[in-house]
């Protein structure tokens, strides 16, 4: 279906410059041109143009016309009872708080969770795309996809768009037949496997708390409390994090959402503990 814009012999013709995506990249619709491709600016080096003019980083897009929604602290860790995923819910565009209620844990499917850190649109789009790929895997192979494979699919997608200025730092957590698994996947296609990660502008604060109090042998309640405390401390010190702390627990049967508490309430709770203790 030809559209009036972006087609023709024209200075603003973006139709002459295309990036071929993966088969499921642009979801087959034709806004801006062909299906399965993303339009690019009509310059000699589109990757460099995107990197320099559509920066997504903290403070880097303050002077730009286009500011992206981002900002965060997310964390996840494995313990004997499963995996805890704990996130904040603030989204900033430049110095403006665009939202205090963003859902940063993306429910890919009932047993796989992805977190959102970096560019909000990048994370939500590519993780939804990952959900599509996971479902196709299930239909073709008649079994659930492993967390390792799911995270690899995401990493490969990021590899294809390397250098274009995408910003995504996500953790893929789930319980498959090898047990609870946690992977970190980055916008430059870094893929790491470990028992604990924290991602985002407030991650350093969260790591301080996590590293001090983490033990593999915790009850579910202790693990949830640790996840909450770490996010609370990050939101307290990082301007780009705040809002509501959402906590999920991944069990063999899938994930469950266990807590959604405003971080100001956590502040009051921990302050009360200090005066009592």
Partner 1 sequence: MRRRRRIALVGCCCACVTRATLATYSFSESLTHQLTKLVPDQAPLQGLHHTAAAALPQLSITINGNIPSLKQTNWKEQVSKRADGWQPYEDNGGTVVAVAGPDFVIIGADTRLSVNYNILSRKVTRIHGISGARTFIGTAGCWSDTQGLLKAMQGLVGDYEWQQQHSISTAALARLLSNVLYSRRSFPFYTHNIVAGLDREGAGAVYGYDPVGSFERVKVACVGGGRSLLQPIMDHLAGDQDSSLDRRKPLVSVSCDDALELVKEGFVAAAERDIAIGDEAEILVIDAQGVTRHRLALGTH
The footprint of partner 1 (CB under 8 A) covers: 1, 3-6, 9-12, 14, 19, 26-27, 29-32, 38-46, 49-50, 53-54, 65-69, 91, 93, 96, 98-103, 119-122, 124-125, 164-166, 243-244, 257, 259-262, 265
Nearer to partner 1, 6 or 182 (CB): 6
**How far is 207 from 197, CA to CA, in rounded Å?**
8
Nearer to partner 1, 53 or 109 (CB): 53
Both structure tokens of 106: 């993306």
Closest CB 151 distance from partner 1, rounded Å: 21
* In the block, residue with structure tokens 């303050």: 62
Closest CB 21 distance from partner 1, rounded Å: 10
Closest CB 262 distance from partner 1, rounded Å: 5
Closest CB 178 distance from partner 1, rounded Å: 30
Nearer to partner 1, 182 or 250 (CB): 250
Whether 72 is catalytic is yes
Closest CB 17 distance from partner 1, rounded Å: 9
Nearer to partner 1, 44 or 178 (CB): 44
Q: What is the 3-state secondary structure (H, E, C) of the chain?
A: CCCCCCCCCCCCCCCCCEEECCCCCCCCCCCCCCCCEEECCCCCCHHHHHHHHCCCCCCCCCCCCCCCCECCEEEEEEECCEEEEEECCCEEECCEEEECCCCCEEEEECCEEEECCECHHHHHHHHHHHHHHHHHHHHHHCCCCCHHHHHHHHHHHHHHCCCCCCCEEEEEEEEECCEEEEEEEECCCCEEECCEEEEECCHHHHHHHHHHHCCCCCCHHHHHHHHHHHHHHHHHHCCCCCCEEEEEEEECCEEEEEEEEEHHHHHHHHHHHHHHC
Contact 44, 63 (CB under 8 A): no
Nearer to partner 1, 120 or 250 (CB): 120
Nearer to partner 1, 29 or 276 (CB): 29
Catalytic residue among 72, 73, 74, 115: 72
Closest CB 31 distance from partner 1, rounded Å: 4
Catalytic sites, residue numbers: 72
């Amino acid at each position: 279906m030809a559209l009036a814009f972006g087609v023709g012999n024209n200075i603003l013709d973006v139709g002459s410059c295309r990036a071929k995506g993966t088969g499921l990249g642009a979801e087959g619709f034709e806004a801006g041109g062909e299906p399965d491709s993303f339009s690019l600016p009509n310059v000699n080096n589109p990757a460099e143009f995107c990197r320099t003019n559509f920066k997504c980083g903290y403070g880097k897009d303050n002077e730009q016309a286009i500011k992206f929604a981002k900002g965060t602290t997310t964390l996840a860790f494995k313990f004997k009872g499963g995996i805890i995923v704990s996130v904040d819910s603030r989204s900033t565009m430049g110095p403006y708080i665009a939202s205090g209620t963003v859902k940063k844990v993306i429910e890919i499917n009932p047993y796989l969770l992805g977190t959102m850190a970096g560019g909000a649109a990048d994370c939500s789009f590519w993780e939804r795309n990952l959900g599509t790929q996971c479902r196709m895997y299930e239909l073709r192979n008649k079994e659930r996809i492993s967390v390792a494979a799911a995270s690899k699919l995401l990493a490969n997608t990021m590899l294809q768009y390397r250098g274009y200025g995408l910003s995504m730092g996500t953790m893929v957590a789930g319980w498959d037949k090898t047990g609870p698994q946690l992977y970190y996947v980055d916008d430059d296609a870094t893929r790491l496997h470990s028992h604990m990660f924290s991602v985002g502008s407030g991650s350093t604060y969260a790591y301080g708390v996590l590293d001090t109090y983490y033990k593999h042998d915790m009850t579910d309640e202790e693990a949830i409390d640790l996840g909450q405390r770490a996010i609370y401390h990050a939101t307290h010190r990082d301007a780009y994090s705040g809002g509501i702390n959402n906590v999920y627990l991944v069990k063999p049967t899938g994930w469950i959402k266990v807590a959604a508490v405003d971080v100001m309430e956590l502040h009051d709770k921990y302050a009360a503990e200090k005066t009592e203790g």
